[in-house]
Amino acid sequence: MASAYSDDFNSIKDLPVSPSGDHHQLSQSKVDTSPLCDYLPKPSLRRIDHFSRMALLSAGKAIKDTDPSLFSKDNTGVIIATGFGALQTTFSFLDSYIEKGDKLASPTHFSNSVHNAAAAHVSIGYGITGPNLTISQFDMSFISALVTAGVWLDTEKVKTVLLGTSDAFCDVLGYCIDKFSNIKKTVGYSFGEGAAFFLLTKKEGQSKYGSFEDISVGNYKKTGLDIPQNTLLVLSQSAINTCNDEFMTYLKNNKKAHYRNHLFSPTDSSMDVLFSTTLLKKVCYIKIGTGGEYGKMIITPNLKNQGFNSSG
Amino acid sequence: MELNRKLKEMIIEELQIEDITPDEIDDDMPLFGDGLGLDSLDAVELVVQLQVYFNVEIKNIEEGRPALQSINTLAQFVKAKQTQALNEAAS
């Protein structure tokens, strides 16, 4: 904050996202959520903010994309992973609190600012009555959510899990990235927002895009990291460069890694997972976080669904 | 009628009512339920915005229920409160 105000800005709203000079330009891709009206009645979307709208649109597409026989509203759980939550709405609420005082802070902004607002809207909007959970663990949000989904399916708490991520870009985040982070100088990163949803089931042979053979978490600095030989290694780097440097040192004697250009967001893993199903080969996907923690998934793409026979 | 229009514009803006103009809101249309279709969260937001826009406070449900029936009842409530405040300031 001291740095922000030392630049002579009167309000956080005046902060430019892309300041002049030789700084790298932050590229942003704002999600167009207007197609949401094809899934839900427009009046019901009135108070719902952009963060939740992205989740609703992505969840709606996942439900539409799935085999109807797999999806039962009363036997489906909803789990949403988010790194920042409803960031813009949180700042809007704080703005109203700072500018007008606690008694005149916006109740609507507050109700949308809680991290589990998106999951609530998904359940209410699509009539899903199973358990509902939101997980926020920054870089490890998606992997934690995936582990939890696995537990729910293994224990037959539900028959399917609608698992998704949502993270939104906002001006304050852009300002902080530009001022305080070295990420923008790393080749391969672009900044944006998005949501990705999957309908998970334990039913054999029912996967449309692929399946998770193994999901694990750990700390490679303490226990090492086993990367199966017959897999393509896909990495999602941490948001912190020192973690990446340390991890690259650890991997230097291992197989060649494929870096994917991806959106910078704590929950980019979900989009990387979808990308992995298009690689036509079994993938070992690793997301690393701070301090050596990692999430590892072995993803087997459904080659038949992509026009290849299984032995090809 | 100027106050009525301001109230309608406030409601449309702050409650994010889309696809309706101030002219399409009848002054006697019920604000909640079958009329404009507002709900309980809108009521809380309205109480806050009345203070922001008009410096008028709804202190309890006994005041709020009759005031929030329609644009006309809301306008009458705002005028009465503003007149009361002026009288108290003058005395």
B52 touches chain A (CB under 8 A): yes
B9 touches chain A (CB under 8 A): no
Q: Which of A150-159, A249-258, B27-36 has the highest mean pLDDT?
A: A150-159
CA angle centred on A196, ends A190 and A202, rounded to 5°: 140
Q: Which of A154, A291, A165 is nearest to A212 (CA)?
A: A154
Query: What is the overall mean pLDDT for chain A?
Result: 80
pLDDT digits (tens, 9 = 90+) for A53-62: 999 999 999 9
Q: Which domain holds residue B31?
A: 2-90
What is the average pLDDT across A236-263?
62
Please give the residue of chain B at the shortest CA–CA distance from A112. B41
Work out the minimum CA distance from A107 to partner chain B, whole angstroms.
Answer: 6
Domains and CATH numbers, chain A: 23-201 (3.40.47.10), 210-306 (no CATH)
B41 touches chain A (CB under 8 A): yes
> A40: which chain B residues are within 8 Å (Cβ-Cβ)?
none
User: Are A106 and B45 a contacting pair at CB < 8 A?
Assistant: yes
Contact A87, A173 (CB under 8 A): yes
> B51: which chain A residues are within 8 Å (Cβ-Cβ)?
103-104
User: Are A46 and B19 a contacting pair at CB < 8 A?
Assistant: no
Counting the structural domains of chain B, the total is: 1
> A43: which chain B residues are within 8 Å (Cβ-Cβ)?
37
Q: Which of A73-77, A241-245, A280-284 has the highest mean pLDDT?
A: A73-77
Q: Is the pLDDT at B66 greater than 90, yes or no?
A: yes
Please give the residue of chain B at the shortest CA–CA distance from A48. B16
Q: Does the ipTM surpass 0.90?
A: no
Q: What is the CATH number of the domain that holds B78?
A: 1.10.1200.10
> A46: which chain B residues are within 8 Å (Cβ-Cβ)?
15-18
Q: Is the dihedral of CA A173, A176, A182, A185 positive or negative?
A: positive
pTM of the model: 0.83
Under DSSP, is residue A95 helix (H, G, I), strand (E, B) or coil? Answer: helix
Q: Which of B14, B33, B38, B10 is nearest to B22 (CA)?
A: B10
Instruction: Name the residue among A46, A107, A111 with its Cβ closest to that of B18.
Output: A46
